Structure 1
């Protein structure tokens, strides 16, 4: 089993989604955890809603700092924050493979409830496609 760390800024949406998708689709091959450089301290409720909509159950997800994993080794570190949107992704040092899956932050979307739900669905689908194409 390979260990994966998924990193973003707030650890409330994108990294939570990616962690859950990896653990769901790659349950025999991968064990994923997620963290943020500046964790919000809470998981965005829409993240949990979209996972539930797609039949993915998560057990008490937490928004946490990447410092919690500083002493652990990982086979793969995936960043999902979008530097083009001026977000700061943490640097994670260690001997591991690194991937960057640029994903717009659905928590920053404003507008109607449909606009917000569409943003979370798009983030979910983008991350799911990356997992399927690059990990499975």
Structure 2
């Protein structure tokens, strides 16, 4: 998964240790699809949950270049939303780099609405666009 993240994102990557903790945590769901990417993965999604809230946070969806456009991202997003609903969540939130119009448009087409901006959110100083979707 670390290699898939490195191939998918320019920075702000989870360390191997942080990823291992996330995988083991009951408040995190890691979903994957098989494919031709690093480690035999097609795509991976990480969702964070905080007890006592009805909001799931989609931390990331990383898709291997070899399988882009084949529905892996859609499948993972649908699975992440279903998992969130199963945990009692009524909304899902996420952040997208302000310079990543492709991802922002992809989330908009899947029902996410702009929620605001986080200035200088990423390690390189790039702003984040915040999105939210009502679930269920």
Relative contact order (C-alpha < 8 Å, sep 6+): which is higher? 1
TM-score (norm 1): 0.28
TM-score by length of 2: 0.28
Higher helix share: 1
